[in-house]
Structure 1
C-alpha cells in the first residue's frame, strides 16, 4: 500500500520521490479536498498531461488507488471517482465510530502540552479557512485534525483505517451535504479538545460519537457536483508540491 500523508494542496510536506507516488498522492488529496467530485472520470491521457508523466506511470497509480479503495477501476469503463450510496455512508460512519471513539479514549488526559497546542493550531486554522470561505482548505484541515488524533494514538492500524475511510466520507459530503458547509464543524473539534485535556476517557469517546453522529445526520440531500477539468484540479497540487 502506498504511504499516504496527512496533507493536501498547499502542504509544506516534501513531495514523494517516485512519479507514481506523486500521482497517487495528488488524486488521494483531491478526493479528500472535494476537488474531484463523485463520478469524475479519470482519463489516463489527461492525467499524464496534467503531471507530465507517461501513461504507464498514471496506470500504475490508478491501479494502486483502486486497490486501496480510493477510486473504481473497471474493464472498458476506466477509472472513476466512486459515488457512494447512503448505505455505504452507514457502513463508513459505523467504522469511524469504532475507530475514532477508541482513539480519543486512549488519548484522553495523556496528550502533552505541545501536542494539544498543535491540535489547537489546526482547529484555529480550520476556523480561519471557514470564515474566509476557503472550502478546500477547511475540508483539508478538518480531515487532518482527525488523522492527527489517529497518529497520536500510536497505533498505525488506526491511522491506516482512517486514511481509507476519509475519502469516502468526503465523497458522501459532496453528494449529500448541503452546499457551503465544511466537512466538520470546527467548534465540535474544540469541544473534543476540551474533553481530551481532561482525564475522562468515557467523556471523550462520547463527544467523538456525538460529533460523528452530527456529521452523519447532516447528509440529507442528493447533490450533482460539477465535474471540473483534470488539469485545473491538479494545478493546485503541482503548485503545492504534491
Structure 2
C-alpha cells in the first residue's frame, strides 16, 4: 500500500472526531492518548498531536498541565453560556439567510431534513443527534461566512457534549422545528425564523439537567472510529 493511501489528513481526523462527538460516541471527560488515536487512524503521533492542538484551541479537547488530554466536559454554567452565545448568533444567521433567500439554494438543506426524518423513523438516536447538530452548521455554511462556520462548529460540538452530560430527553430537536425554520427562511420571513430559532434554543436548554451521566465509554468510541477507518481504507 502506498504511503499516500495510509492514514488520514489532519482535517479528516478532526472531522471524524467531531462526528463522534456529534453522535454522542465520544464521552465528555474521557481521556485520549496520542498512541490510541495514532493507531486508530494509522498516522504518526505528530499528526495526532497537531489535531489535538487544534481541537484544544477550539475548547473541544482540554490539555491538562500533566500532559493528559481529555474531551471537554462543559459544566451546567458553561452550557448555559454556550446557549447565550448561540442565542446571540443563530437568530441573526437565519435573518441573513431570509434576506438573501432568493439567491440561495436549499437543495442540500432539504436533503438534510429528509435524512433527519429517516433517522428519527429508524430510531437511530446517534445519527439523529449528529444530523440535528449539523443542521445548525449548515445554516452557518449557507451564509458563506467562514468566521461564523468556525464558531458554530465549536459551539455545536460543546453543546453536544453538554447534551450527553445533562439532557433529560432523547431528542432535544423535536420533529418539524428545523423544517419550520427553513420554511420561514424560504418565505423571506426573517422575524419569524429568528423567533422560531430562539424557541428552539430555549427548548434545548430546558432539556438540560445535571443528574444525567454519560453511559458510553471511550473504548466504544475508539472501536467505532477504527471501523470507520477500515471502511474508508477499503473503499
TM-score, structure 2 normalization? 0.87
Counting matched residue pairs gives: 226
Q: Does 1:144 find its partner at 2:134? A: yes
Is the contact between residue 123 and residue 186 of structure 1 (CA under 8 Å) also seen in structure 2?
no
Q: Within the alignment, does 1:80 sit opposite 2:55 as a pair?
A: no
Query: Is 1:231 aligned with 2:201?
Result: no
- The CA RMSD over aligned residues, in Å, is 2.3
Secondary structure at the aligned position of 1:108 is classed as helix
Q: Distance in 2 between matches of 1:156 and 1:183?
A: 27
Structure 2 counterpart of 1:218: 207
State the Cα distance separating 1:26 from its structure 2 match: 2.1
1:118 to 93, 103, 108: 108
In 1, the alpha carbon distance for the partners of 2:9 and 2:118 equals 33
**2:117 maps to 1:166:** no
1:1-242 mapped onto 2 (5 Å cutoff) = 19-108=9-98, 110-112=100-102, 115-178=105-168, 181-225=170-214, 226-229=216-219, 230-239=221-230, 241=232
Cα distance in 2 between the residues matched to 1:207 and 1:46 = 42
Distance in structure 2 (CA, Å) of the matches to 1:111 and 1:239: 41
2:24–2:164 Cα contact (<8 Å) kept: yes
Partners of 2:180 and 2:94 in 1: CA distance: 12
Structure with more of its chain in helix, by fraction: 2
Partners of 1:156 and 1:62 in 2: CA distance: 21
How far off is 1:187 after superposition?
1.2
If the length of structure 1 is used for normalisation, what is the TM-score? 0.84
Q: Is the 8 A contact 2:93 2:140 kept in 1?
A: yes
Structure 1 unaligned regions, length at least 5: 1-14
